[in-house]
Structure 1
Amino acid sequence: MSNGLLLWVDDEIELLKAHIIFLEKKGYEVVTVSNGTDAIDQCQTQTFDLVLLDEQMPGLSGLETLQRIKEIQPATPIVMVTKSEEEDIMNQAIGAKIADYLIKPVNPNQILLTLKKNIHQKEIVTEVTQSGYQQNYQQIAMQIADCRTFNDWKDVYRKLVHWELELSSADSNMTEMLKMQKEEANNGFAKYIAKNYLDWVAPQDNKISNSFSKLAGQKKQQTNNNDNRPLLSTDIFKSKVFPLIDKGEKVFLIVIDNFRLDQWRILSKEIGDMFDIEEDLYVSILPTATQYARNAIFSGLMPKQIATMFPELWVDEDEEEGKNLNEEPLIQTQIDRYRRHDKFSYHKINNSTGADKFMQ
């Protein structure tokens, strides 16, 4: 079975016989031509997996040939193989979206590497990714079983998200195996939350509801876990926003509803060249529904505290009024409680039209 059909264009093609034999032994079919015109003719009659193209040729130059081939086969990767080290030619070739730029003399393994990168990358990535996850599977399983603190769970979650993204990009058939491991982690994390949540939100209150006792599946220990308390929704402003303001920073806080770590990882790749990114995770209060968790972020208070301290800003579950209509005044209550004098503007975006309008 052929590893791919190549077109090699070089006016000194006879001097590259050893390279061509090497590639043929590796399973590639190689069509050779000595000028740009013949290369264009070949591209009009058959589709190539990759084109190796010299720049300095009589007649059509390599750059001219490159443009013509791109018009005929826009998806075919083209690798410039040339003696030229002129920066201008390099820039023009890169601007024309070549797949690679190799400077002569090249050895056969250099050619093989660029073929692997441009023709076989997906298969190689899939194979290596699957092998990597298989090797890490048992380690992650042991980590899940040994998790005792929130930092332990953060580490597990980051690893699971990493492999979820890696396997999805590699189009792997091991996603079902990962899904089962995520379910195992979810079950373990739910037990961890049930065991510790009441101590986090009310560390002085040793009264434990029957529902949480049953969910934990064990007798609740009367201990104060406040020392190991993770960052909660109610802590975001106090622990993350206010300290930045105190340093003189201008802060733009963006709260995105139902925003998962895997989604953030994809977005962070798009904005990584514009910002220095520091990443951390926090625990949402329960229930995690928007009307509770998001109001807790903006107010710095638990829902019951909001209802008690600011009844005019709280909307009960059975009321028809929107549950998140008072976010701006809730932010102000938090600023006032900490006796701060910060100025802020609040904007709520519900759809893409609203986003476009805001950006204007």
Structure 2
Amino acid sequence: MALGKILWVDDEIESLQSQILFLQNKGYEVSALTNGFDAVDFVRDNIVDVVLLDETMPGITGLETIAKIKEVNQHVPIVMITKNETENLMDEAIGSQITDYLIKPVNPNQVLLSLKKIIDNKRLVAEKTTTAYQQQFRNLFMALNSSPDYNEWMEIYKKLVYWELEMEKSDSPEMQEVFQSQKSEANNEFFKFISRNYAKWVGPKSVEGPVMSHTLFKYKVMPHVEKGVPTFFLLIDNLRFDQWKAIQPIFAESFRILEEESFYSILPTATQYARNAIFSGLLPMDIEKAYPQQWKNDDEEGGKNLFEEEFFRGQLKRMKRDDVRFSYTKILNNQAGQDLVNNIHNLLNNDLNIIVYNFVDMLSHARTEMEVLKELAGDEISYRSVTKSWFEHSPLHQALKKIADKKINIVLATDHGSVRVKTPAKVIGDKQTTTNLRYKHGRNLNYEQKEVLAFRDPKEAGLPVPTVNSSFIFAKEDLFLCYPNNYNYYVNYYRNTFQHGGVSLEEMIVPVIKMTNK
């Protein structure tokens, strides 16, 4: 089977016979023509992988031929070959969306390299990716088994995300499988690590621990807030580290990325807990004490995230930073996004601008039970792709582009990530038990101990006690918690959806990124 089908168009094709033979010997199928008209007809009637095209030919020129070929087949790669080195011809050719540009006389290896780049690129990259991961596999395996601390876990997760993104280039199902099992093993070890250490990090006597939701502003945001240079704190709801990597190139077009770090979301990795902790600078247990009217438990009526601005005012006060002039904007729908685009310049007068963007809530379309998401984002690759597409066309991106030329600081973060759930786990509880799929609290909960991290006393996890004798449980890895009644229906309905609230690398280790103008 030929490596690729090449069409070579040149009015002096006779003089290129040795080159054509060279390519045929390398395994390419080459068809030769002497003018643009015939080339357009040939592309219309035949499969062509690459067109090699002379610029100066009688009849119609190379540039005119390109335009006509693109009308017939917009995606066929074209390599322009010309004696003419003038810059404006190069500009015109590149503007006509050629794939490569070669100057005559060309030697056979130049042409071969160009074809390899175009046709074999995917295969070569896939092979190299697979080999490189095989070499890294052992290092990752050793890192997992050397009792990593919380900093090393952040590094391990970063590496896993890197390889997950690299694996998209590999078409080897075997390697994908090896990677998935390594990621699953990592999540299993991470669950044990969190089970051993979480209470120490958030307990009343905690001295050691990573930056977490309730200390994010203290360590990662407020040190950057200075008079005279506005800081924008962007919180994109439910953004995993791999989703950040998907939108990073779009940010990099307008801003300089200074630090790419991560922090730990508190448990439950759910908006109501993690986001309130970020803005109040307190653990949920302490928020309830300080703001008994505003704090709502899962089973209580009323909005759970209505007081973030008030909580943040309190945090500034405790930090003795009341002098900071700040704005708080929450975007729950497209209209609010458009208002931000129109108002963004006015925010430059503040020291700090907080923008909370409820991306996933909008994506799941006012919670149409995730059906839209199931279609659009059935796996990690498509989830990243949807995120990228959303951000590229979002009002948030438009607004930021409007101030990209101003001297500003940006800190981008999220409240928690999400995990694709695959494995059901049975939980039995009384009527008061909450309905969340990745965590539950209630009295008399019945569950398999090895499947969850349980806190019989919620205070140990820095959490309020919703009712007397309530305990909290958090699902591990890719589990989702189901009741026995209607069990099969729920299992089929929720399997392979993205959920949050539990213990996994994807939910707990989340991005915090520092950027500035270029």
User: Structure 1 length as normaliser, TM-score?
Assistant: 0.89
Does residue 87 (structure 1) correspond to residue 77 (structure 2)? The answer is no
Q: Name the residue aligned to 1:279.
A: 260
For residues 261 and 356 of structure 1, what CA distance do their matches in structure 2 show?
Answer: 26
Matched to 2:300, the amino acid is E
Equivalent residues, number: 339
Match of 1:295 in 2: 276
Counterpart of 1:177 in structure 2 is 178
1:230 matches 2:215? no
Shift of the alpha carbon at 1:352?
4.1
Specify whether residues 183 and 332 from structure 1 end up closer, same or farther in structure 2 by C-alpha distance, changes over 3 A only: same
The amino acid of 2:166's aligned partner reads E
The aligned counterpart of 2:105 is 105
The CA distance in 2 between the partners of 1:189 and 1:77, in whole Å, is: 46
User: Any stretches of 5+ residues in structure 2 without a counterpart?
Assistant: 343-518
**Is 1:258 equivalent to 2:258 in the alignment?**
no
Pick the aligned partner of 2:310 from 323, 329, 351.
329
Cα deviation digits, residues 104-153 of structure 1 (max 9, x gap): 22222221121122122222222222222222112111111114222211
Match of 2:167 in 1: 167
Structure 1 residues 91, 22: closer, same or farther in 2, change over 3 A? same
* Structure 1 position 44, deviation (Å): 2.9
Q: Assess if the C-alpha contact under 8 Å between 2:11 and 2:34 holds in 1.
A: yes
* Cα distance in structure 2, aligned partners of 1:333 and 1:187: 38
Q: How does 1:1-360 map to 2 (within 5 A)?
A: 1-173=1-173, 174-202=175-203, 204=205, 226=208, 229-246=209-226, 248-277=228-257, 278-340=259-321, 341-360=323-342
Assess, with a 3 A threshold, how the Cα gap between structure 1 residues 344 and 172 changes in structure 2: closer, same or farther. farther
CA shift, 1:196, in A, is: 2.0
Q: Please state which structure has a larger fraction of its residues in helix.
A: 1
SS at match of 2:254: coil
Partners of 1:116 and 1:307 lie apart in 2 by: 63
Query: SS of the residue aligned with 2:233?
Result: coil
The structure with higher relative contact order (CA 8 Å, sep 6+) is 2
For 2:273, give the aligned amino acid. Answer: Y
The answer (yes or no) to whether the contact 2:272–2:304 under 8 Å persists in 1 is: yes
- Counterparts of 1:247 and 1:202, CA distance in 2: 35
The answer (yes or no) to whether the contact 2:78–2:99 under 8 Å persists in 1 is: yes
RMSD: 1.7
2: CA distance, partners of 1:359 / 1:79: 42
In 2, Cα distance between equivalents of 1:147 and 1:120 = 42
1:355, CA displacement in angstroms?
2.7
Any idea what SS the aligned residue of 2:75 has?
A: coil
Query: SS in structure 2 opposite 1:194?
Result: helix
| TM-score, structure 2 normalization | 0.63
Q: Contact 1:53 / 1:80 at 8 angstroms: preserved in 2?
A: yes
Change (3 A) 1:203 1:146: farther
| Unaligned stretches of 5+ residues in structure 1 | 206-223
Letter in 2 for 1:238: K
Identity of aligned residues (%): 49
Give the distance between the partners of 1:291 and 1:67, measured in 2 at CA: 55
**Cα distance between partner residues in 1 of 2:225 and 2:13:** 65
Does the 8 A contact of 2:129 with 2:169 survive in 1? Answer: no
State the alpha-carbon separation in 2 of the partners of residues 263 and 80 from structure 1: 37
Instruction: For 1:285 and 1:74, locate their aligned partners in 2 and report how far apart those are by CA, in whole Å.
Output: 50
Q: 1:122 to 1:302 in 2, by over 3 A?
A: same
Specify the code of the residue in structure 1 equivalent to 2:53: L
Separation in 2 of the partners of 1:168 and 1:64? 37
Q: Distance in 2 between matches of 1:309 and 1:282?
A: 25
Which residue identity lines up with residue 184 of structure 1 in the other structure? E
State the shift of 1:47 in Å.
Answer: 2.5
The alpha-carbon distance between structure 1 residues 70 and 322, as it changes in their structure 2 partners (threshold 3 A), is: same
Give deviations 1:173-226, integer Å, cap 9, x for gaps. Answer: 122221211111112112222222222223626xxxxxxxxxxxxxxxxxx6x1
1:77-119 C-alpha deviation (Å, 9 max, x unpaired): 1011111111111111111111111112222222112112212
Q: CA deviation at 1:316?
A: 2.2
Higher CA-based Rg: 1
Structure 2 residue identity aligned to 1:197:
Y
Confirm or deny: 8 A CA contact 1:233 1:282 kept in the other structure: yes
Contact 1:313 1:330 in 2 (8 A): no
Shift of 1:50: 0.6
Question: Which residue of 2 is the match for residue 210 of structure 1?
Answer: none
